[in-house]
Amino acid sequence: MVLPERGLSLLLAAVVLAGVVFATLGWAPPPRRRNLAVAGAASGLLGTATSIGGPPMALVMQGSKGAQLRGRMSAFFLVGSTLSVAVLAATTVLSYVASRFVNRHLDAARLRRASITVSCVGALMLIGQQLL
């Protein structure tokens, strides 16, 4: 939220390049459950923010043979993409259903107060996050 889109993309590209440098210097995190979970989360974040979700998983899986790496990465992207679409669809349906009930109670004044309150809470959370 602090960086413009370009700045975020550059920052994330720098993080990926740092991973490349570490890998080149010999750092190879073993494909254990924790490392795969962290790499999967980082991949989801990078994929959502910049459409380059592969590098974290490729870093963890770098010791695999060619066919094994391609198969695992393909499976990872298949499952990840399927989950992303399923969560997006479920969220859309739940939001629609919730709006049918919420809209009955939100006149213009209440909607304005709700919007301002949500904006204020979001800003305070961001400030708190930056201070901690």
Domain boundaries, the chain: 1-63, 82-132
Mean pLDDT of the chain: 81
The CA angle 32-56-8, to the nearest 5 degrees, is 145
| Predicted pLDDT at 6 | 66
Contact 44, 53 (CB under 8 A): yes
At residue 126 the predicted structure's pLDDT band, cuts being 50, 70 and 90, is low
| Predicted pLDDT at 94 | 95
pLDDT at 25 over 80: yes
Average pLDDT over residues 19-25: 81
The size of the chain, in residues, is 132
| Predicted pLDDT at 97 | 92
Contact 59, 39 (CB under 8 A): yes
| Predicted pLDDT at 1 | 59
Q: Report pTM.
A: 0.53
pLDDT at 36 over 90: no
At residue 123 the predicted structure's pLDDT band, cuts being 50, 70 and 90, is confident
